[in-house]
Amino acid sequence: KKKIAVMTSGGDSPGMSPAVRAVVRSGIYFGCDMFAVYEGYEGLVRGGDLLKKMEWEDVRGFLSHGGTDIGTARCAEFRERKGRLQGAYNMVVNGIDALVVCGGDGSLTGADLFRSEWPSLIEELVQTGRLTAAEAEPHRHLTIVGLVGSIDNDMAGTDATIGAYSALERISEMVDYIDETANSHSRAFVVEVMGRHCGWLGLMSGLSTGADYIFIPERPPKHGKWQDELKEICSRHRGYGKRNTTVIVAEGAIDDELQPITAETVKDVLVELGLDTRITTLGHVQRGGTAVAYDRMLSTLQGVEAVKAVLESTPDIPSPVIGIAENQIVRQPLVDSVRDTKMVATAIEAKDFDKAMSLRDSTFAE
């Protein structure tokens, strides 16, 4: 009987709990023993109570829960080989032969590394006498499947990450609230949104709320020139009779000389224009709340696909990550997805913004 563990790791996102539910229940449906690793890689390294057998009813209600019911953490030890060695030991002694990781770019990079090191970790555990050759034998190969859980929609190889549409919904709702008060007082608001190095939340929330101006890392404005352009555009919109001004600044916003553009610097420009300007940093409300229907659907379909991928895996198939492309649930090698995600960051560092934009998913690139 196959023993599969599911884990959520890195920054939480709405849809992680529904993903855990889907993995646990489809695993049971396909006749597997299912486990949850609590607290992300921390649970793998510490083992014990943090590795828990899961039954059908243990995930009841998860579909409508935000965040992750099995906890998540950032784990420094897992970045070291020693931590990963302990993780491998805990998996083997619990008989676990496959791991489904739902997390962001960092977590999936860690997962990819774990799988590539696996044979040498097992060998070391045998060499040092912590495992007997007989105990190690059924565990010479590790199956890892990735699910992309992130509000940032920053992972290559999928049009949408689990949680991105929930965060977008939350941001758009908050900007609508802000627009009401801005309208009343004829104010300007600079809204800072999350997304780390990815501008998807900034761009899509700007589109969804009709913002006057949007700052995202992939399409940076000209160094030293954007201030005048911002003033010109906001004045023009005011000239049309608009009483409010809304500017969205993505967390990773920069100019084309890679200088950070912050909500503060944007505010200063709007103040120079004579606008009564306030800053709202949305913060953690963006990742809070329950998952929107899209994320529940995405995590459920992808969770089932993840279990199928585990059951169909062989040592010669590279670890897959489950994505959605043109409305189809798809698998692709995790290494490719991790590599392509890094390419965006590299393109931005090299100031090749057209390339960065084209490497993002199709809706973004349009």
Chain residues that interact with ligand ADP, rule: CB under 6 A: 9-11, 41, 74-75, 78-79, 103-107, 109-110, 113, 150
CB-based closest residue to ligand ADP = 106
Query: Minimum Å distance from CB 152 to ligand ADP?
Result: 8
Burial of 113 (0-12, 13-18, 19+ CB in 10 A): middle
Output 75 or 348, the one with its CB closest to ligand ADP.
Answer: 75
Residue 140, annotated as binding a ligand = no
Q: Is 12 annotated as a binding residue?
A: no
Q: Given the complex with ligand ADP, which of 6 and 234 has the nearer CB atom? A: 6
Name the minimum Å distance from CB 336 to ligand ADP: 17
Maximum separation of any 2 CA atoms in the chain, in Å? 78
Closest distance to ligand ADP from the beta carbon of 316 (Å): 24
Residue 39 or 305 with smaller CB distance to ligand ADP: 39
251 is in an annotated binding site: yes
Neighbouring residues of 163: CB distance < 8 A, sequence distance ≥ 6:
12, 13, 14, 15, 16, 149, 150, 151, 287, 291, 295
Nearer to ligand ADP, 90 or 107 (CB): 107
| Strand, helix or coil for residue 262 | coil
Q: For ligand ADP, which is the closer residue by CB, 66 or 110?
A: 110
Q: Which helix (H) or strand (E) holds 343?
A: helix 334-349
91 in a known ligand binding site: no
Q: Is 112 a catalytic residue?
A: no
Q: Which run of H or of E encompasses 263?
A: helix 263-272
- Provide the minimum distance between the beta carbon of 148 and ligand ADP in the complex, in angstroms, as a whole number: 9
293-311 and 164-185 helices cross at what angle (nearest 10)? 160
Q: Is 64 annotated as a binding residue?
A: no
Residue-wise burial string across 192-225, b where 16 or more C-beta atoms lie within 10 A, e elsewhere: bbbbbbbbbbbbbbbeebebbbbbbbbebbeeee
Crossing angle, helix 200-209 and helix 164-185, to 10 degrees? 50
Residue 83 CB, nearest approach to ligand ADP (Å): 8
For residue 99, list its beta bridge partners.
5, 144
- Please state the φ and ψ torsions of residue 202, each to the nearest 5 degrees: -65, -50
Residues in a beta bridge with 192:
249, 281
Residue closer to ligand ADP, measured from CB, 26 or 150: 150
CB 22 within 8 A of CB 300: yes
Distance CA 277, CA 265 (A): 12
Q: Annotation-wise, does 204 bind a ligand?
A: no
12, 97, 112, 152: the active-site residue: 152
| 257 Cβ contact list (under 8 Å, min separation 6) | 223
Least gap, CB of 124 to ligand ADP (angstroms): 17
State yes or no: 304 annotated in a binding site: no
What residue numbers does the annotated binding site for ATP cover?
11, 74-75, 104-107
Which residue numbers are catalytic?
152
